Structure 1
Amino acid sequence: MPTYHYRCKNCGYDFTKEQSFSDDPITVCPECGQEQVRKVYSAVPIEFKGHGFYRTDGASSSSSSSSSDK
């Protein structure tokens, strides 16, 4: 089951909750009881592995030197 990060806009309470994809998102803060809870989204780290992800992969030396001759 995925874990979601929530934060209350009213009191600032941060918490995480394991929920199924079919569960409704939490809207009421368990700390202050206000309906001010929102999901917190953050960047997911990605890692490029293998060939084809770098500028030098697959580029011929003639095509890269022709653009720098100008």
Structure 2
Amino acid sequence: MGPLQGLWRDTWWLWCVFAVLVLAVSYAVTPFFVILIPIFAVVFVYFSYMRYDDQGRNKGDLM
């Protein structure tokens, strides 16, 4: 859970903005855009394991 918590700690506001925008577009245009929420979840998990270590620290800080 370290990488997930690390990414959430650093970018929680951005993911909240994405969720609000997707829900607003889904309401205004078509509900089809709700499919973006699980896609964003997959992207979140991918980037968390690529950029953060087991303790939730950015891998760029380790060098």
Larger Rg, first or second structure (1 or 2) = 1
Higher relative contact order (CA 8 A, sep 6+): 2
Between Structure 1 and Structure 2, the one with more strand by share is: 1
TM-score norm. by structure 1 comes to: 0.21
Between Structure 1 and Structure 2, the one with more helix by share is: 2
TM-score norm. by structure 2 comes to: 0.22
